[in-house]
Amino acid sequence: MKLSERILQIEESKTTGLMDLVQKMQAGGTDVISFNAGEPDFNSPEPILNATIEALKSGKTKYSAVPGLPALRKAIAQKVQTENGIAAEAANVLVANGSKQILYNIFQAICNPGDEVIIPSPYWVTFPEIVKLAGGVPVFVDTREHQLVPELIEQAITPKTCAILINSPNNPTGAVYSEADLRAMGELALKHQIYVVSDEAYAGLTYDGAKHLSLAALDSRFAPWVITSQSFSKDYCMTGFRVGFMIADKALIKAINNLHSHLTGNVCTFAQFGALAALEMDPAIMQQMQETFQKRLDVAYPLCREIFDCVKPGGAFYLFPNVEKYLGERFADDDALAEYLLKEAHVAVVPGSSFGAPGHLRISFSTNEENIRTGFARMKKALIG
């Protein structure tokens, strides 16, 4: 068998690989607490389901416009103006198959072979692989207590740099970036004429008064150099629908649409009608979900602190504790610790090394409070006694 060098350098997503393993264990009768989940545990809201079913019944099963249904693009433009403060029209919007395809499309469009993309660490597991698929070179820069350090990012910029890739609220840390740091990213984009790609998949999930800010909304000067990626997956509990979108300069949207037309074409037509319903439904539905996540964080964080050192997240639905005190003589690394917790405590967590942060674990609190209490009790017994 022969494979391309491009594919040989790409690794399987460790989060999806772990999910497959956990599902096999659960199917075999093992009671595993899934703290590895990267999706809400709620069902998609009824208005979304009803609109999707009605679209199916009424024959909305044909091809549709490649960049997205016109009504959906218009609604998304209105959404980002109202909720995020981003000045946008329908022509600034492209709909694709979730955040992964959005990011794939972006870097295929802006990255030449050998171009560098700066990625603050810790980072979502898919970021470096998508850059490599575009022929780019990921350049990792440390954060400080999970927050951006603008001076370190600027030091990493070279003549080969084409973009900075940021993610707030952050997966895996839950960090919500400050306005000052976001503005610093915009100024770097202007100074060096590079893009800032802002992944905002968890824009609607913040806690304890933290506020998500979109870089593209902070200064009109930044707009030509900022590409915003958002998704219906997390905020609207639509992970299986595979609907995401990007907001960018009209010329860039047109160029990416050319690529999109040769990849998948339109996103599933009836799924787009579900997404449109998500934007039209009562906001109180999703506010209730956000409040539930806040309660879960209030339960999970103190329990986590009984076992690990942990910075409290401001958004998303993850804790990202430092576990270095357990490493060394007892466990070789965070991978070994995660394997032990799965086998001995039947609790699934994701090693921090998957996110470029060895010595950490990602713990999702996207499950009910009973599971949260049970899972942390099992980990505490396995590690402390």
Nearest-angstrom CA–CA distance, 261 and 67: 8
Q: Give pLDDT, residue 1.
A: 87
Q: What is the mean pLDDT of each run of 10 residues along the chain (385 residues)?
A: 87 74 81 90 96 98 98 98 97 97 98 98 97 97 96 98 99 98 98 99 96 97 97 96 98 97 97 98 94 98 98 98 94 94 94 96 97 98 93
Question: Is residue 270 within 8 Å of 76, Cβ to Cβ?
Answer: no
Fold of 5-44+284-383: Aspartate Aminotransferase, domain 1 (3.90.1150)
| Beta strand extents in 14-104 (DSSP E only) | 33-34, 93-96
Domain ranges, ordered by start, for the chain = 5-44+284-383, 62-280
pTM of the model: 0.95
Cα angle 198, 171, 361; round to 5: 155
Q: Give pLDDT, residue 329.
A: 84
Q: Give pLDDT, residue 347.
A: 96
Single out the residue of 118, 124, 157 nearest to residue 138, CA to CA. 118
- Show the 3-state SS of 112-162: CCCCEEEEEECCCCHHHHHHHHCCCEEEEEECECCECCHHHHHHHCCCCEE
Question: Is residue 317 within 8 Å of 204, Cβ to Cβ?
Answer: no
Q: Give pLDDT, residue 6.
A: 86
Q: Give pLDDT, residue 29.
A: 83
Q: Give pLDDT, residue 15.
A: 72
Nearest-angstrom CA–CA distance, 243 and 225: 24
Class of domain 62-280: alpha beta
Cα angle 218, 132, 181; round to 5: 20
Single out the residue of 313, 321, 315, 383 nearest to residue 355, CA to CA. 321
